[in-house]
Structure 1
Amino acid sequence: MATDSSNRGIGLPPLDISAAFPQATPASIFPPSVSDYYQFDDLLNDEEKALRKKVQAFMEKEVAPIMTGYWEKAEFPFHVIPKLAELGIAGGTVKGYGCPGLSITGSAVALAEMARVDASCSTFILVHSSLAMLTIALCGSEEQKQKYLPSLAKLQTVACWALTEPDYGSDASSLRTTATKVSGGWLIDGQKRWIGNSTFADILVVFARNTNTNQINGFIVKNGSAGLEATKIENKIGLRMVQNGDILFNRVFVPDEDMLPGIKSFQDTSKVLAVSRVMVTWQPIGISMGVFDICHRYLKERKQFGAPLAAFQLNQEKLVRMLGNIQAMLLVGWRLCKLYESGKMTPGHASLGKAWTSLKARETVSLGRELLGGNGILADFLVAKAFCDLEPIYSYEGTYDINSLVTAREITGIASFKPAMLGKSTRSRL
């Protein structure tokens, strides 16, 4: 019998999850943090410990109760931004200009505590702070720093960072967006894709190829500029609250004072990516901590065969494997921060950290999904949401494979990013 599509929404509303499944507490009431088995807190100074607790409390109170609804709708909770500003973490390691001047360890731990509850909120801060703001701080003029950083630090304005293009993801240095010199400024033409925060950012830090020098330069582009269009990418399965966008530039004029003087080639982006890759190393750590905390509580609450799930040996083994992964990830992330602080960190160090933690987090959240059974596919219990959110993180800021090749180039001295060209004799036989 034919069904009228207009009647598909008819029926009783779904039960509240606590009524539908009273045997386990949903993630809207977040569990206490119980994953610090090797007492990682002992490696933090008092300021870093206090910041960790402050961010943890904020995320559990302000974000945990609302995140599932916003994630499901693929919308960002803009009303949280003023409250997020009060944490004082925007700007991270940047000193002066109203920025907090945190240690890189403190900034990383804060990002992890955000990701523990919600990866989308941590990505919002990562893009705004450790990419866009840091680029202005490291590569901008004194006038640009004074003009833009104070309001960005207070989250009165929001920034995005536009490097990736539709045809160039991993091969980012081959970007095609162009900057052509004209009287008083530059005209930007081209397209960017997957740019977080871009649909609502007040300013865009944009990378384009100088048509005169063929080198990559950086520019600060204001929202509302003529010829600029940003549209939301729909139908993502992960980081659904993050507003990723496609950006079109059609002769967008940028005045000379908004060209970033410290970016004269693609290599100049490496000093920004070095820090952001440390930060993104900590996102999988935070996600894994949150999944463990949920599973730890769930296994003690949920009963089958007359006993809590925590009483079964197979479940205990999986829980311990998750815990072990987290301890190892924490120590790798911490050591990476210390290498950076001492000036010893190399691109290979940062790439290995990001690749390895995202790989181990994949295993950890997969185990968590198994432990929750059918509820492992419900965003209400965090694990399904975290499972999906980790997938884009596994790929952005360098895929697992690309980051592995960065480290491999460093330890072997051989770059293998591009496949070997076919020889003439090989071509002749094809």
Structure 2
Amino acid sequence: MTLLDADCYAFQDLLTPVEREAALALREFMEREVRPVADEYWDRAEFPHHLIPGIAATGVVGAAWPESARFENSAVFRGWAGLELARVDASFATFVGVTSGLAMTSIGVGGSEEQRAEWLPRLGRCEAIGAFGLTEPLSGSDVARGLRTTATREGDTWILNGAKRWIGNATFADVTVIWAKDTADDRVKGFLVRKDTPGFEAVKIERKQSLRSVQNADITLTDAAVPESDRLQRVESFRDVAQILRLTRTGVAWEAVGIAVGAYEAAVRYAAEREQFGKPIGSFQLVQDKLANSLADITASLGMCVRASQMQDEGRQNDEHSALAKAFVTARMRETVGRCREILGGNGIQLDHGVARHFADAEAVYSYEGTRDMNNLIVGRAITGRQAFV
């Protein structure tokens, strides 16, 4: 059985039989449970909480960590899972990416054995939900130097003050990883802030026009007290944060491929059904040209994601590898969803025809976890040996 029709060069053959079975089960869940309600929840800017047990049962959440993995798997499989999620609903893919990727990777990379044992199994079963608080109202691309949230140690307690913005899952997360500067040494440290912590407040951001089902929040921290036992014990500087982002950035590239595939599949269906001048528009040269260019972009993007994930498993992935994948693939995604919307004409802006939501969601994925410009500068630094961020 073909896992993905848009996989022109059969990259899916790299999956093991166990991984392939899990990917097919994930696809079945997404088609049966998520697709029928995705447009409705997106339109209302609400999250389908009732689907969380179902995605937990697929075993894709927390698949990267021995404390939560259900079966042996590769980075290619985990990327493919992100593709399958985003192919149907990028909002749902972002929910999984935040808790399984950003939050769990922060704990998996930066946490002590005790912290990993406490949180990774629960997060992997979605008995707890995670969020990741790095971006701030006044610090986005410059967050490495411009982080304003502070942490002051008082005995065995840290007092956190500051604000975070665009934090996915934060309105309902059980734990949010908050990154703050230590006022004693000016170095970045990570903290596991539980949802009932006094002084921690998360307010939903309204009026979004992309990833509308994702519950992004503005977070304020006002003298929020966090015990030393909830400080990520293996994080000592922003270099450790960068390591986490390197591991998750490739996952965003995979999600971008999924968005492109979702729009492409909808355009192929539409081209077969829509008639103009007495025949299906799929018989017209201009439409076929758009579809062929879209398939080419998807195929090139898949190849880049596959190799970046293989290098991750081999321990050879550097910052420039994940940055190049994220920058290139999200740019190709943006072009692909644009072409697919063109194929649908005016119907391309209506949710009912399968492209409009992908078209809107692509804009957020294009920007988060590093804009194209910033990721290209990471690559440029690797090429020239010179930093050009400022």
With normalisation by structure 1, the TM-score equals 0.88
Whether 1:316 and 2:288 are equivalent positions in the alignment is yes
- Give distance in 2, aligned partners of 1:370 and 1:220: 45
Report matched runs for 1:358-373 at 5 Å: 358-373=330-345
TM-score normalised per structure 2: 0.97
Aligned to 1:217: 189
Indicate yes or no: 2:108 matched with 1:137: yes
The residue type equivalent to 1:334 in the other structure is V
Residue 347 of structure 2: aligned partner:
375
1:100 deviation in Å? 5.1
Q: How does 1:62-101 map to 2 (within 5 A)?
A: 62-97=33-68
Measured on the aligned residues, the alpha-carbon RMSD in Å equals 1.2
Q: CA-to-partner distance for each residue in 1:42-82, whole Å, 9 max, x for gaps? A: 22222222222111111111111000010000000000001
Q: Which amino acid aligns with 2:101?
A: S
> How far apart are 1:120 and its partner, in Å?
0.5
Secondary structure in 1 matching 2:337: helix
Distance between the aligned counterparts of 1:89 and 1:102, measured in 2? 10
1:353 to 2:303 alignment: no
Q: Aligned equivalents of 2:19 and 2:70: distance in 1?
A: 16
Q: Which amino acid aligns with 1:149?
A: L
CA 1:317 to 1:97, structure 2 compared with 1: closer, same or farther past 3 Å?
closer
Q: Is the 8 A contact 1:159 1:201 kept in 2?
A: yes
Taking the aligned partners of 1:136 and 1:335, their CA distance within structure 2 comes to: 25
Please report how far the alpha carbon of residue 186 of structure 1 lies from its aligned counterpart in structure 2 after TM superposition: 0.6
Q: Report matched runs for 1:109-258 at 5 Å.
A: 109-173=80-144, 174-258=146-230
Higher mean C-alpha deviation, range 92-101 or range 333-342: 92-101
Task: Say if 2:312 is the partner of 1:340.
Answer: yes
Partner-residue secondary structure (3-state), 1:66? helix
SS of residue in 1 equivalent to 2:36: coil
> Greater CA deviation, 70-79 or 40-49?
40-49
The alignment covers a number of residue pairs equal to 387
Compute the displacement of 1:340 (Å): 1.2
Read off the aligned partner of 1:137 and give its amino acid letter: G
1:278-297 alignment to 2 at 5 Å? 278-297=250-269
Distance 1:337 1:98 in 2: 17
Mean Cα deviation higher: 401-410 or 50-59: 50-59
Contact 1:33 1:293 in 2 (8 A): no
Moved more, 263-272 or 241-250: 263-272
Instruction: Check the 8 A contact 2:59/2:69 in 1, yes or no.
Output: no
Partners of 1:180 and 1:199 in 2: how far apart?
25
* Comparing 112-121 and 148-157, the one that deviates more: 148-157
Task: Find the aligned partners of 1:379 and 1:325 in 2 and give their Cα distance.
Answer: 24
Which structure's CA Rg is the greater one?
Answer: 1
Runs of 4+ in structure 1 deviating by more than 6 angstroms, as ranges, are none
Equivalent residue, structure 2, for 1:13: none
Change (3 A) 1:101 1:215: farther
Whether 2:13 is the aligned partner of 1:35: answer no
Instruction: State the 1:33 CA deviation.
Output: 4.4
1:102 partner amino acid: N
For the residue of structure 1 that corresponds to 2:173, the secondary structure is: coil
Higher mean alpha-carbon deviation, 308-317 vs 46-55, is at: 46-55
Structure 1 contact 92–130 (Cα < 8 Å) conserved: no
Distance of 1:101 and 1:388 partners within structure 2: 35
Structure 2, unmatched stretches of 5+, are none
Q: Which residue of 1 aligns with 2:26?
A: 55
Percentage identity across aligned positions?
Answer: 43
What is the CA deviation profile of residues 346-383 of structure 1, one whole-angstrom value per residue up to 9, with x for unaligned ones?
A: 10111000000000111100000000011100112221
